[in-house]
Amino acid sequence: MRRLFVLALLLGAMRVIQPLGAGGYGAQALLAFGFLILAAYAAGELAVAIRIPKLVGYLIAGVVFGPSALGTVGTRAIADLSPVSSLAIALIAFIAGVELQWQEVRERGLGLLRVLGTELGISIVTITAFLLLLREHISFLQHGTIVEALAFSIVFAAMAAVHSPAVAIAMLSETRARGPVAKTTLGLVLISDVVIVLLLTLTLAIARALVPPAGANAPALTLGAVAWEVIGAVLIGGILGALVTLYLRFIRRELFLFAIMVAFFGSEIAHLVHVEPLLTLMTTGFVVENVSAPDHSAALRSALERAAAPVFVVFFALAGAGIALPQLARLWPLVLPLALVRAGAIWAGVRLSLGWSGLPRDEVPVLRRHVWTGLLPQAGVAIGLAAVVAQTYPSRGGDMQVLFLALIAVNQAVGPILFRRALDQSGEIPRTEERAAAAETSAIARP
Q: With a cut of 60, say whether residue 437 has pLDDT above it.
A: no
Query: Is residue 202's pLDDT more than 50?
Result: yes
- Domain at 87-429, CATH class: mainly alpha
Amino acid code (one letter) for 12: G
Torsion of CA 154, 155, 156, 159, to 10 degrees: 120
How far is residue 215's CA from residue 90's CA, in Å, rounded to a whole number?
A: 34
Answer whether residue 359 shows pLDDT above 50.
yes
Find out whether 308 and 96 touch, Cβ atoms under 8 Å. Answer: no
**Mean pLDDT, range 202-226, rounded to an integer:** 64
Q: Is the pLDDT of residue 406 over 60?
A: yes
Residue 366's pLDDT is 92
Is residue 409 exposed (0-12), middle (13-18) or buried (19+ Cβ within 10 Å)?
A: buried
Task: Give the separation between CA 151 and CA 140, rounded to whole angstroms.
Answer: 11
C-alpha span between 109 and 87 (Å, rounded): 28
Band of residue 351 on the pLDDT scale cut at 50, 70, 90: very high
pLDDT band at 440, cuts 50/70/90? Answer: very low
For residue 271, give the amino acid letter: H
For 135-151, give the DSSP string.
GGG-GGGSSS-HHHHHH
User: In a 10 Å sphere around its CB, with 0-12 CB exposed, 13-18 middle and 19+ buried, how is residue 37 labelled?
Assistant: middle
Confidence class of residue 225 from pLDDT cuts 50, 70 and 90? low
pTM, two decimals, is 0.76
The one-letter amino acid at 109 = G
d(CA 187, CA 420): 17
pLDDT digits (tens, 9 = 90+) for 242-279: 999 999 888 888 888 888 888 889 888 988 888 878 77
Higher pLDDT, residue 284 or 82? 284
User: What per-residue string of b and e applies to 114-128 under the rule 16 or more CB within 10 Å gives b?
Assistant: bbbebbbebbbebbb
Q: Domain coordinates of the chain in residue numbers?
A: 2-80, 87-429
Query: What is the pLDDT at residue 368?
Result: 92
Q: Select the more confidently predicted residue: 408 or 126.
A: 126
* Residue pair 354/135 in contact by the 8 Å Cβ criterion: no
Q: Enumerate long-range contacts of 333-341, CB under 8 Å, 24 or more apart.
A: 334/134, 334/137, 334/138, 334/403, 335/403, 335/406, 335/407, 335/410, 336/410, 337/130, 338/127, 338/130, 338/160, 338/403, 338/407, 339/407, 339/410, 339/411, 339/414, 341/126, 341/127, 341/130
Query: pLDDT grade, residue 439 (50/70/90)?
Result: very low
Cβ count within 10 A of residue 358? 15
- Specify the pLDDT at position 142: 81
Q: pLDDT grade, residue 218 (50/70/90)? A: very low
Confidence band for 85, pLDDT divided at 50, 70 and 90 = confident
